[in-house]
């Protein structure tokens, strides 16, 4: 079982290759879209590369769901994610820092959940069997 | 104009690999301007040939039900120019195949010379959304590209 540091290093390398960014730009708190410039198609590329470099299987929508709320008013009201929506995020993305997002739960900022640290935690969970 | 940048498949192993050739004829329109006294195959069209070889490999894997579109060129390296009169061989291998798309790695040779290498990612257009926009018809594999594969099978049998 690789250490957290080893997993982080490999995730960072994977993101550098996929997004063509400099290693110094890849920090744990860096957001994939906002800071590292990922576009929608890059998420599929990242999934391919993580599967290959870690030998894991990533089911469709598990790491990068295409749509979590699907416009459901129970989850989103007036551009903000509701308490039920926050709970949904905790269930669907247990490896994301939902607490941080919950402080200012604007739907427009939901992309900020997807950080380098989040991907690292996901891979770590996959490798140690926390989520299969 | 037919947007076909491979002439024929030499080998095709479903869900695994494919090899195709492209003959660069001096009579092709593109060499009139690219360039008048130095007929060199544009690198972008070399990539297109590689993408067509790989795209058919990816499309065939799901019996051409998916709309396979080039999504991203992960990396590409060009080692030398390819000139009119040469025959390019495109060799591709399927690296990954998922419901959302696929990745191939490919190499282009002229004789024994390595001309280019690339890794290309394809996406399967979202089935529900693409059906709304494009309907049932698979505009990617409409005929010509699939016929190439038919020809290869015919010659083999």
Q: How far is B71 from chain A (nearest CA, A)?
A: 7
Give the model's pLDDT for residue A97. Answer: 95
Q: How far is B27 from chain A (nearest CA, A)?
A: 38
Question: Which residue, A18, A64, A62, A58, is CA-closest to A37?
Answer: A18
Q: What angle do CA A50, A52, A55 make, to 5 degrees?
A: 90
Give the model's pLDDT for residue A95. Answer: 96
Is residue A53 within 8 A of residue A14, CB to CB? The reply is: yes
Give the model's pLDDT for residue B117. Answer: 98
Is residue A51 within 8 A of residue A58, CB to CB? The reply is: yes
Query: With an 8 Å Cβ cutoff, are B74 and A18 in contact?
Result: yes
Q: Which of A38, A48, A51, A59 to mutate to test the interface with B (most CBs of B within 10 A)?
A: A48
Q: Which of B93, B103, B118 to mutate to test the interface with A (most CBs of A within 10 A)?
A: B103
Is B2 part of any domain?
no
Q: What is the CATH number of the domain that holds A8?
A: 1.10.1200.10
Domain that holds residue B26: 8-156
Q: A129 with A95, same domain? A: no
Report the alpha-carbon distance of residue A98 to residue A4 in Å, rounded.
20
Q: A57 with A6, same domain? A: yes
Q: A3 with A45, same domain? A: yes
For B61, phi then psi, to 5°, come to -60, -30
Report the alpha-carbon distance of residue B89 to residue B112 in Å, rounded.
10
Q: What distances in angstroms separate CA B73 from CA A41, B78, B104, one per listed residue? A: 11, 13, 10
Question: Which residue, B102, B18, B92, is CA-closest to B58?
Answer: B102
Query: With an 8 Å Cβ cutoff, are A44 and B71 in contact?
Result: yes
Q: How far is A85 from chain B (nearest CA, A)?
A: 25
Q: A52 with A73, same domain? A: no
Q: A18 with A58, same domain? A: yes
> If pLDDT is split at 50, 70 and 90, which confidence band does B22 have?
very high
pLDDT of B133 > 90? The answer is: no
Q: How many other C-beta atoms are found inside a 10 Å radius of the C-beta of residue A1?
A: 8
Q: Which residues of B touch A44 (CB under 8 A)?
A: 71, 98, 100-101, 121, 123
Residue in B71, B95, B96 closest to A41 by CB:
B71
Query: With an 8 Å Cβ cutoff, are B123 and A18 in contact?
Result: no
Q: Is B149 helix (H, G, I), strand (E, B) or coil?
A: helix
Is residue B55 within 8 A of residue B3, CB to CB? The reply is: no
Q: A60 with A76, same domain? A: no
* Count of domains forming chain B: 1
Give the model's pLDDT for residue B24. Answer: 98
The per-residue b/e assignment along B56-73, b for 16 or more CB within 10 angstroms, e otherwise, is: bbbbbbeebebbbbbbbe
Q: A15 with A54, same domain? A: yes
Query: With an 8 Å Cβ cutoff, are B98 and A41 in contact?
Result: no
Q: A39 with A78, same domain? A: no
pLDDT per residue over A3-25, tens digit each? 999 999 999 999 999 999 999 99
* Count of domains forming chain A: 2
Q: Which residues of A touch B97 (CB under 8 A)?
A: none
Q: A106 with A119, same domain? A: no
Q: Is A118 helix (H, G, I), strand (E, B) or coil?
A: helix
Q: What is the CATH number of the domain that holds B117?
A: 3.10.129.10
Report the alpha-carbon distance of residue A118 to residue A124 in Å, rounded.
10
> If pLDDT is split at 50, 70 and 90, which confidence band does A131 have?
low
Q: How far is B144 from chain A (nearest CA, A)?
A: 27
Domain that holds residue A73: 67-110
Q: A3 with A57, same domain? A: yes
> If pLDDT is split at 50, 70 and 90, which confidence band does B145 have?
confident
Q: Which residues of B touch A56 (CB under 8 A)?
A: none
Take residue A111 and report the two structure tokens written for it: 């992309």
Q: DSSP assignment, residue A99?
A: H
Q: A40 with A3, same domain? A: yes
Catalytic status, residue B34: yes
Give the model's pLDDT for residue B90. Answer: 98
pLDDT per residue over A70-116, tens digit each? 878 899 999 999 999 999 999 999 999 999 999 999 999 999 999 99
Mean pLDDT confidence for A41-52: 95
Q: How many other C-beta atoms are found inside a 10 Å radius of the C-beta of residue B49?
A: 23
pLDDT of B139 > 80? The answer is: no
Sequence-ordered strand ranges (E) for chain B? 8-13, 17-23, 68-78, 87-98, 101-110, 113-124
% of chain B residues with pLDDT over 70: 90
Is residue A11 within 8 A of residue A126, CB to CB? The reply is: no
């Amino acid at each position: 079982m690789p250490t957290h540091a080893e997993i982080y290093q490999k995730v960072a390398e994977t993101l550098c290759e996929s997004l063509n960014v400099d290693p110094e730009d890849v920090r744990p708190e860096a957001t994939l879209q906002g800071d590292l410039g990922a576009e929608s198609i890059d998420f599929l590329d990242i999934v391919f590369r993580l599967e290959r470099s870690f030998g894991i299987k990533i089911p469709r929508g598990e790491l990068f769901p295409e749509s979590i709320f699907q416009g459901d008013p129970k989850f989103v009201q007036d551009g903000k994610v509701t308490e039920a929506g926050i709970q949904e995020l905790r269930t669907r993305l247990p490896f994301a820092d939902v607490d941080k997002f919950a402080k200012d739960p604007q739907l427009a900022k939901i992309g900020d959940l997807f950080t380098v640290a989040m991907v690292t935690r996901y891979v770590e969970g996959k490798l140690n069997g926390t989520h299969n | 104009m037919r947007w076909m940048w491979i002439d024929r498949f030499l080998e095709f192993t479903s869900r695994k690999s494919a090899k195709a050739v492209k003959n660069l004829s001096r009579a092709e329109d593109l060499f009139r301007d690219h360039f008048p006294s130095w007929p060199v195959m544009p690198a972008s069209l070399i990539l297109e040939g590689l993408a067509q070889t790989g795209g058919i490999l990816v499309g065939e894997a799901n019996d051409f039900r998916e709309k396979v579109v080039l999504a991203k060129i992960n990396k590409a390296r060009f080692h030398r120019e390819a000139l009119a009169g040469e025959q390019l061989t495109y060799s591709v291998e399927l690296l990954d195949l998922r419901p959302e798309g696929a990745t191939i790695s490919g190499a282009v040779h002229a004789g024994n010379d390595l001309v280019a290498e690339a890794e290309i990612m394809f996406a399967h257009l979202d089935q529900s959304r693409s059906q709304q926009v494009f309907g049932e018809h698979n505009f990617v594999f409409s005929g010509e590209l699939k016929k190439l594969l038919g020809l290869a099978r015919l010659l083999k049998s």
